[in-house]
A and B are shown apart, each in its own frame.
Chain A
């Protein structure tokens, strides 16, 4: 049981973690998600008593980590797989940790077997690959057979077999009644492993809910409708008919329509009434990755831009067309699905007292996730002018409508949803 209350950490004038409160319960794998630099590792370090919180507190089983009696027997952690002295052999590294917490030396050979490093136990860890280092770190976490386990990016660098092993290990550990707290960037991995999710962005809590709730609350399942490419007027006709029927329609770049707010049979009926033939009518279920992307799109600190090579390229010969940009490079609007309701909050979180709009809308004072918190009246340190986020990428990246010669005149509205769906790196 890990409990954080109002956890805040500042490094100088940079706030790494702001007023974070959550609980991690035993018997389940709790995923800890957030973009790079969102404060995941800082939070983990504060849980382990390595960093002192600027404000707030975090306890494990009711004690701050540094006050825990025989802490390594209650909490095991993998923070950084490379946090070993490279000149020491794997076995000696684990032996020194075992001795430090009064664990019998034969346990060292046991965990070396568990992580599959017996062969290289006598080798210096300097020569270990990323995956081997990761296994060594997991071995150190398992050494004390603790009831609380923290893993920071445990599958980094592991081979598929190792990833499967870690996934099963996490589940097995949780099934034994232990508290397992895992941070990861691999959404597909989290979807398979975690039961519960804690999502932070820019150091603040964005969500604390089960995986199923998270996906359903943060993604709109939509229908993809495709009309015959040969008759573009049919598409416009269907679009207006669907809008009249109460659906939200967004054109996609390849000419399809993305429809939300209408059930599939209803879409078919509307199309039939309008006399429009359909080439595709497919349900689209959002994944955890999409739900995560939408939730964190306003909280991403490090965002890629298109590689323009400005001023470095030969001027194009007259009449030549610039190449199509590869999707995903700072190109707005191709990935993220539309928000659940247009112009509304960028993500939903059915928690009591949640702020009515997203924390990054700027108009809101007081940190999201901090109702009644210490700074309820103070300005949000992360508040931004509302227009900043959507505008920035447009300034850097060529707007698709301008840079790409539209293949069809109907393509023009594609640029419109750029304000609603911000650019996102698909990985």
Chain B
């Protein structure tokens, strides 16, 4: 009915509406100062959100317990049972791998929940109404989550590495880790795990379903390695090797120099691989977020 009317109310219609008490167009002006919002506001908001739900405390708490508990148990076991040459050529840092591999599941869960739980609860409608710039919301979530995950992973992996080296110093002919070894076993693996979590966060944003996204991510971490183990056929050797070398646990082990094979990624390569994956997922999540209905 109003298709023919221009946006502003026309003269005939206006008096009708201004008759309402105090209803002078253009209406109400709030006394609260209006500020121009930017990413900083979204970051503050996401920080409030991530610290005010219990799932954050639970997943990060379990992560720390797994990393420290398994790391120290492994070190204690090795110390109790090692002979004089049993650790020759290896560094004590390698024992941190088991805890971090299991702990990465917690980071994946938290990453998925950061985005997908908003879809599960419907909170995302409230968020997107409060901030129609959807990319800003996703970027803020990604930054806040990445920083939180990285700091926690760095603290946990750094602490467990220090405990392990001090426990196993000189035990079984273990070699003293170099500065590069230290950097990879703390900073490198923490960045890698935080990026893995970030990738999960973006998958959560794409899938929009917590359980589905967590299942996909855990499958993506574990399945390639398990499949490769049962790939006995000669003709599939190439595939098997690729799966073994590039599965996520194998990539993580590269940071400890105990990879399953010698031809796969080395040094800091896994970090660049995961960075590329996360960047691709970010682009995909952004494109979907912009065009999909919330």
Contacts and interface: CB of A to CB of B under 8 A. Distances in A.
B52 A71 contact: no
Given A52-B293, A70-B36, A140-B126, A175 B44 contact: no
Contact of A77 (B30, B54, B124, B129): B129
Nearest to A196: B17
Nearest to A178: B28
A26 B123 CA distance: 28
> Which of B123, B125, B129, B293 has its CB near the most chain A CB atoms (within 10 A)?
B129
A174 interface: yes
Contacts of B118: 85
B23 A174 contact: yes
A208 B5 CA distance: 14
Given A102-B35, A175-B20, A97 B45 contact: yes
B30 A83 contact: no
A369 B293 contact: no
A75 B27 CA distance: 13
A146 B133 CA distance: 18
Interface residues of A, number: 73
Given A27-B27, A100-B45, A144-B30, A83 B122 contact: yes
Interface in A397-417: none
Main secondary structure, interface of A, reads loop
Contacts of A382: none
> Which of B18, B42, B122, B133 has its CB near the most chain A CB atoms (within 10 A)?
B122
Contact of B32 (A23, A67, A103, A140): A103
A76 to B, nearest CB: 9
Interface string A113-154: 000000000000000000000000000100011110000000
A7 B20 CA distance: 28
Given A6-B3, A99-B48, A145-B31, A27 B20 contact: yes
A67 to B, nearest CB: 8
Interface in B7-36: 7, 9, 13, 17-18, 20-32, 34-36
Given A79-B125, A100-B130, A101-B37, 6 more contacts: A59-B7, A85-B117, A95-B48, A147-B27, A147-B29, A178-B28
24 contacts: A1-B7, A26-B26, A26-B27, A27-B20, A28-B17, A28-B20, A48-B129, A52-B293, A66-B132, A71-B130, A71-B131, A80-B125, A84-B123, A85-B121, A85-B123, A87-B55, A88-B52, A97-B127, A100-B41, A147-B26, A175-B23, A177-B28, A352-B1, A369-B1
Interface of B: 1-3, 5, 7, 9, 13, 17-18, 20-32, 34-37, 41-42, 44-46, 48-49, 52-55, 117-118, 121-133, 291, 293-294
